[in-house]
Amino acid sequence: MLRAYLRSKGVFNQVPPKDPPTPDVVKAFEEDHVLSVPMLDDPRFDWVNPLTSPWNTELSFRLAQDFKPKLEKVEHLSIPPNMSSTTFIQGVISKKVRRTRQVYLDSCPPALDAPETAMQKEARIKMKKQARSKQDRRVSRRHGVSTDDVRWHKETYLAPRLSGGANASYSSAHQATLHFGGASSESTNYLVPRG
């Protein structure tokens, strides 16, 4: 629900991310917190500065204040006790927009005094994307193996056993491995092939 709210505000997983406010607006806010404040109708994080900067802290706090009543209005939703705190919601919002900030920073050309060139930055970002894709494939493959094996073992071993069958060779330790965390790539080598 929080993700959908942040998407509707245009600050979560938007590609390309919204441009940050101008440095003059941010500076005016830092000097006087009344005249220039982050607005909720068009929220813009200052992606250039850390998420703990005064502007970003104020914006995430205002988003948390706006989201909290919406969360409380939803019926039949058990809300964890910590989600009733605006400060906690503010911290969750800051964590959620980290990747969007990184996408913005990656899309910007390096500063003139930066230690890496534009080509080096592009190569670094490409390597990071490849590593993330590799990790995503590995996680999805493990989840797929785990899900398939649990289903297959239930059909092959548990169903006959539960219905009074004589097949009692099912390993409860192996079942626990499959239920909690999936099978690692090493443990899939000894699994019995299906059909």
Asked if residue 186 and residue 143 are part of one domain, the reply reads: yes
Q: With respect to residue 147, please indicate whether it lies within any of the assigned structural domains.
A: yes
| DSSP letter assigned to residue 137 | H
122 domain-assigned: no
Same domain assignment for residues 12 and 89:
yes
pTM, rounded to two decimals: 0.61
Residue 60 lies in a domain: yes
Which among 51-65, 93-107, 139-153, 173-187 has the top mean pLDDT?
51-65
Distance CA 6, CA 42 (A): 12
Give the distance, in angstroms, between the CA of residue 30 and the centroid of all CA atoms in the same chain: 30
- Pick from 59, 92, 108: which residue ends a domain? 108
Tokens representing residue 7 in the block: 């998407």
Residues 97 and 11 in one domain: yes
Q: Which two tokens stand for residue 35?
A: 């005249």
123/100 Cα distance (integer angstroms): 20
What SS3 class is residue 80? Answer: coil
pLDDT (tens digit per residue) in 97-127:
888 888 888 887 777 777 888 888 888 888 8
Segments forming the whole domain that contains residue 60: 2-108
Q: How many domains does the chain have?
A: 2
* Lowest model confidence (mean pLDDT) among 52-56, 111-115, 131-135, 149-153: 149-153
Distance CA 108, CA 118 (A): 10
Encoded tokens for 1: 């629900």
Asked if 104 and 148 sit in the same domain, the reply is no
- Give alpha helix (H) positions in the chain: 2-9, 23-31, 54-73, 86-96, 98-107, 118-153, 159-162, 172-179
Q: Is residue 15 part of a domain?
A: yes
**Mean pLDDT for the stretch of residues 40-57:** 90
Residue 159 CB-half CA count within 13 A? 7
